Amino acid sequence: RRHLLSLADLEPWEYDIILQTSASFAEVLSRPTPKVPTLQGRVVAMLFFEASTRTRNSFELAAKRLSADTLNFSPGTSALNKGETILDTAKTLLAMNTNLMVIRHQYSGVPHQIALECDRLGTGVGVINAGDGQHEHPTQALLDLFTLCSQSNTKQPSLASLQGCKIAIVGDILHSRVARSNLYSLRAAGAEIHLAGPPTLVSEAWENLGVRVHWQLAPALQDAKFVMALRLQKERMHQHFLPSLREYHREYGLTRERLSLCQPGVKILHPGPANRGVELTSEVMDDPDLSLVSQQVNNGVAVRMAILYLLSTVRITA
Ligand code: CP
């Protein structure tokens, strides 16, 4: 099987292959003609059942930089509206000789279900989870990892560079598929992970995974080298959610003043889309000395090129 559905079982050596392959493609992308013929003749189908700006465009550009052909599926203009099922939609695209499928869905497990069907049919097609419900978002965590490791060594980023490094993850852990994937990758790296947020969004149960949970921001930020802010997923909260966005910002919003608790030279990450003035101030988000947000987006193309390439040629994970 050739799927990337979860980071739960990825081995450290597999992360290093992904990091090194991403660095090679980042070099390709820095050339005047940033394109290689690696996946010429291959077809990458993008099935985004849920909204996306970064992930969808990044995968599309990654596939094009590798010279693959892309199929774009939009639920609103598809035969789903005539009652066709998700599996029949996937089978329709498989019949067009699709080689890889990139799938985002609002419900957890949809990419897994389609991967099972691809395996059952013996297609050899690889399925990539581009974010499923509240479950996982593996390629976001991999581009976050690449961004973090590249801070130590741009040309040869390695997992070992994060060993013992204090990383705070602040915000809506409860609803975040990004947080779960990040926990797997950062744990594999041996990072010291601190989660912070209100009790309604960060459960003590996370401590069973070997991380520290804080319901106050200061101890999480104290001496942190990196701080990852997570979006408050308003669409998954009811009207009277505690805390309100204003209350959240008052207690947990990342401001320049609060970040002075961190290590000098601290860097901020956010997977986007961000609620400015809630998770962090615009002053923090737009400060190029502080914020890695644009670098995350930029790195996403190289990392997704690496994933498309590796899944096309060698087995990453079952
Ligand atoms: N980070 C992320 O998944 O962004 P999009 O929803 O824009 O793809």
- For residue 142, is it within any domain? no
Q: Evaluate whether 127 touches 3 at the Cβ level (below 8 Å).
A: yes
How deeply is 289 buried, as exposed, middle or buried, from its count of CB atoms within 10 A (0-12, 13-18, 19+)? Answer: exposed
- pLDDT category at 211 given cuts 50, 70, 90 is very high
Instruction: Mean pLDDT check: name the lowest of 33-37, 223-227, 242-246, 292-296.
Output: 242-246
- Number of folded domains that form the chain: 2
pLDDT at 318: 41
Are 77 and 193 in the same domain? no
Nearest-CA residue for atom 4 of ligand 1:
54
Q: Which residues are annotated as a binding site for L-aspartate?
A: 82, 177, 231
pLDDT beyond 80 at 152? yes
Are 126 and 255 in the same domain? no
Average pLDDT over the chain, rounded to an integer: 95
130-155 mean pLDDT: 96
Domain carrying residue 29 = 12-136+297-313
Atom of ligand 1 nearest to the CA of 53: 7
- For residue 302, is it within any domain? yes
- pLDDT category at 241 given cuts 50, 70, 90 is confident
pLDDT at 315: 46
How far apart CA 225 and CA 228 sit, in angstroms, is 10
pLDDT at 1: 53
| Measured CA angle at 109 (ends 103, 112), to 5 deg | 65
- For residue 6, is it within any domain? no
Ligand 1 pocket, CB under 6 A? 52-55, 131, 137, 140, 271-273
Instruction: Mean pLDDT check: name the lowest of 66-80, 197-211, 231-245, 294-308.
Output: 231-245
Are 159 and 114 in the same domain? no
- For residue 260, is it within any domain? yes
How far apart CA 114 and CA 251 sit, in angstroms, is 41
Are 267 and 167 in the same domain? yes
How far apart CA 93 and CA 149 sit, in angstroms, is 36
Residue 54 alpha carbon to ligand 1 centre in Å: 5
Are 23 and 131 in the same domain? yes
How far apart CA 194 and CA 113 sit, in angstroms, is 33
- For residue 145, is it within any domain? no
The pLDDT tens digits for 115-129 are 999 999 999 999 999
Are 303 and 272 in the same domain? no
Residue 131 alpha carbon to ligand 1 centre in Å: 8
pLDDT at 314: 54
pTM: 0.96
Instruction: Mean pLDDT check: name the lowest of 57-61, 84-88, 134-138, 237-241.
Output: 237-241
Mutating to test ligand 1, I would choose from 52, 103, 269 the residue with most ligand atoms within 8 A of its C-beta, which is 52
- For residue 318, is it within any domain? no
How far apart CA 234 and CA 238 sit, in angstroms, is 8
Q: Evaluate whether 203 touches 210 at the Cβ level (below 8 Å).
A: no
229: nearest Cα among 102, 138, 116, 144: 144
- pLDDT category at 235 given cuts 50, 70, 90 is confident
154: nearest Cα among 20, 34, 286: 20
How deeply is 237 buried, as exposed, middle or buried, from its count of CB atoms within 10 A (0-12, 13-18, 19+)? Answer: middle
Residue 279 alpha carbon to ligand 1 centre in Å: 16
How far apart CA 230 and CA 118 sit, in angstroms, is 33
Are 278 and 308 in the same domain? no
Q: What CATH number is attached to the domain comprising 55? A: 3.40.50.1370
What tokens does 7 get?
A: 């980071």
Q: Evaluate whether 29 touches 65 at the Cβ level (below 8 Å).
A: yes
Percent of the chain having pLDDT more than 90? 92
The pLDDT tens digits for 90-107 are 999 999 999 999 999 999
